[in-house]
Amino acid sequence: MKWEVVIGLEVHTQLTTKSKIFSAASTTYGAEPNTQTAVVDIALPGALPVMNRAAVEKAIQFGLAIGAKVNRKSIFARKNYFYPDLPKGYQISQFELPVVEGGAITIQVQPAKGDPYEKVINLTRAHLEEDAGKSVHEGFHGVSGIDLNRAGTPLLEIVSEPEMRSAAEAVAYAKALYSLVTWIGICDGNMSEGSFRCDVNVSVRPEGQAEFGTRREIKNLNSFKFIEQAIKYEVQWQIDEIESGRKIQQATILFNPDTGETRMMRSKEDAHDYRYFPDPDLPPLVISEEWVDRVRSELPELPVAMQARFASQYGLSEYDARMLTASKELASYFEASVAAGADAKLAANWIMGDISATLNREEKTIADSPVSSDALAGLIKRISDNTINNKTAKDVLKKMWESGDAADVIIERDGLKQESDTGAIEAIVDAVLAANPKAIEEYRSGKEKALNALVGQVMKGSGGKANPGMALELLKKKVG
């Protein structure tokens, strides 16, 4: 039997506010336990929550960025359950009427097999809520400690429709969402600190069946690699269970990166188990048209709009424009290089080629690049004015990366200027032709590759400094 995978994501994005969603306590990460709490966060009797305006504003930003409906009135509810790190016994969240409804994100999917493709993922909602505290076990024997610094930190929970059909699509969606929330600045994206974490709902069903299978929710995945690994394991586990005659039970599960397996955490609750009801301490959240209009006017240029501009302003292909707008930092680096004098197409090629490859190899981002946008522009200008050829430029970039020196300094110091003297190149060409009569015969008999081999010999004979275009023309003239 063929199986179809059904995946939906619930992503918790921690909003970049200075204070918590219902108190004035700081949200700074890494402070001593229980030093960043207010009476609301620790649930002292009589303490009343006060809505953080900045958190609402960031939710509006997100709604506008995905083309969603920003509700002019939304309601906060109490989601009742007991955990030691939730002293109130309930979480303040939104339920029936969230601040954001609908919207969509376009993802670029690179499957393990087959060609890349594009897909639109619709969103169900995005609602504001508070985070819980944290249980602490290290340093305690036989008991658990509680750190409430995180209690009350503002979250925007973004819920997708169950429209993803593979781990590759789920990862592409998570990456697209990550790029957007960091692009508009509502989340710092620090996954290791829990600022962007995903709950993944996974089920399988026979191919062609309309009804969904029973889903299991993988909690708190904080890396794209773990999302992919957890989904692949869980899908195969569910298929094996069903084909063995067993039924899937709705459950909340955890992923263990050390074993690559998922394991049961608890049976999954339904909404009615949480006994939602409107929070009597918080009035409805009312958002005026003027507020929405102001937030819209302050939104930065969004990735889709920037892609279109890159294509029209710089003459880049759709692929180049999409790759360069994969992150705001990368797009800014490209534009700064062009502003510093680099040819746009050459800058795109170098950023997506050697620069990105080196960053990936060293597990760095463009913000960590030791070659600044100005320095890259300096290198590209020397290619454009034929001071160096592309091959030499690669060596120069490597030295720039290691030393931090400018391209001009390295070219001058190491004597790397391209040889463009016709007489000097012609002497090397003559020597190469004299030593390779077989290649000449092959070229004259129609084998074009033989000429490329001769160009390679000329470049080698010049120590890589000959102008390859001049070498090619001279070779054609002499053997043609």
User: How does DSSP assign 357-392, residue by residue?
Assistant: HHHHHTT--GGG-SS-HHHHHHHHHHHHTTSS-HHH
Distance between CA atoms of 148 and 134, rounded to whole angstroms? 6
Of 414, 447, 471, the residue that ends a domain is: 414
pLDDT tens track for 272-305: 788 999 999 999 999 999 999 999 999 999 999 9
Instruction: Answer positive or negative: Cα dihedral of 186, 191, 195, 197.
Output: positive
Q: Is 163 helix (H, G, I), strand (E, B) or coil?
A: coil
Average pLDDT of span 68-95? 94
Q: Which domain holds residue 401?
A: 301-414
Which is higher by pLDDT, 475 or 298?
Answer: 298
Distance between CA atoms of 274 and 290, rounded to whole angstroms? 35
| Residues β-bridged to residue 134 | 147
% of the chain with per-residue pLDDT over 70: 99
Helices (H), 125-223: 167-183
Of 290, 317, 351, the residue that ends a domain is: 290
Of 290, 315, 342, the residue that ends a domain is: 290
35 and 177, same domain (yes or no): yes
Distance between CA atoms of 64 and 99, rounded to whole angstroms? 11
pLDDT at 468 over 90: no
332 and 259, same domain (yes or no): no
Residue 34, both tokens: 């229980």
Distance between CA atoms of 342 and 365, rounded to whole angstroms? 21
Average pLDDT of span 78-93? 92
247 and 307, same domain (yes or no): no
Distance between CA atoms of 194 and 361, rounded to whole angstroms? 25
Predicted pLDDT of residue 344: 97
Q: Is 264 helix (H, G, I), strand (E, B) or coil?
A: strand
pLDDT tens track for 339-348: 999 999 999 9
319 and 353, same domain (yes or no): yes
CATH number at residue 444: 1.10.10.410
What's the whole-number average pLDDT of the chain? 93
Provide the terminal-to-terminal Cα distance of the chain, rounded to the nearest Å: 63
Predicted pLDDT of residue 202: 97
Buried b (16+ CB within 10 A) or exposed e, 170-183: bbbbbbbbbbbbbb
Distance between CA atoms of 166 and 4, rounded to whole angstroms? 9
CA distances 312 to 308, 315, 317, Å, are 6, 5, 9
Predicted pLDDT of residue 461: 87
265 and 193, same domain (yes or no): yes
48 domain residue, yes or no: yes
Buried b (16+ CB within 10 A) or exposed e, 1-32: eebebbbbbbbbbbbbbebbbbbebbbeeeee
295 domain residue, yes or no: no
Which is higher by pLDDT, 265 or 213?
Answer: 213
Residue 267, both tokens: 């049976």
Residue whose tokens read 């998922």: 262
- Grade residue 306 by pLDDT with cuts at 50, 70 and 90: very high
Which pTM was predicted?
0.84
- Grade residue 443 by pLDDT with cuts at 50, 70 and 90: confident
Predicted pLDDT of residue 410: 96
389 domain residue, yes or no: yes
Which is higher by pLDDT, 436 or 410?
Answer: 410
φ, ψ for residue 207, nearest 5 deg: -55, 130
- Grade residue 465 by pLDDT with cuts at 50, 70 and 90: confident
Distance between CA atoms of 372 and 359, rounded to whole angstroms? 13
Predicted pLDDT of residue 268: 67
138 and 283, same domain (yes or no): yes
Range in 94-108, 112-126, 265-279 with the lowest mean pLDDT: 265-279
φ, ψ for residue 264, nearest 5 deg: -65, 135
% of the chain with per-residue pLDDT over 90: 77
Predicted pLDDT of residue 464: 81
pLDDT at 462 over 90: no
296 domain residue, yes or no: no
Average pLDDT of span 162-176? 97
CA distances 301 to 289, 338, 449, Å, are 21, 18, 47
Most confident of 82-86, 180-184, 423-427: 180-184
375 and 439, same domain (yes or no): no
469 domain residue, yes or no: yes
94 and 209, same domain (yes or no): yes
Residue pair 462/425 in contact (Cβ under 8 Å)? The answer is: yes
Residue type, 189: G
Distance between CA atoms of 459 and 260, rounded to whole angstroms? 50
- Grade residue 20 by pLDDT with cuts at 50, 70 and 90: very high
177 domain residue, yes or no: yes
459 domain residue, yes or no: yes
- Grade residue 187 by pLDDT with cuts at 50, 70 and 90: very high
Q: How many domains does the structure of the chain reveal?
A: 3
209 and 68, same domain (yes or no): yes
Q: For residue 175, give the DSSP letter.
A: H
400 and 439, same domain (yes or no): no
Closest alpha carbon to 57 in 22, 98, 99: 99
- Grade residue 478 by pLDDT with cuts at 50, 70 and 90: confident
pLDDT at 411 over 70: yes
Distance between CA atoms of 269 and 389, rounded to whole angstroms? 64
237 and 100, same domain (yes or no): yes
φ, ψ for residue 141, nearest 5 deg: -120, 115
39 domain residue, yes or no: yes
458 and 474, same domain (yes or no): yes
pLDDT at 219 over 90: yes
Predicted pLDDT of residue 126: 98
pLDDT at 463 over 90: no
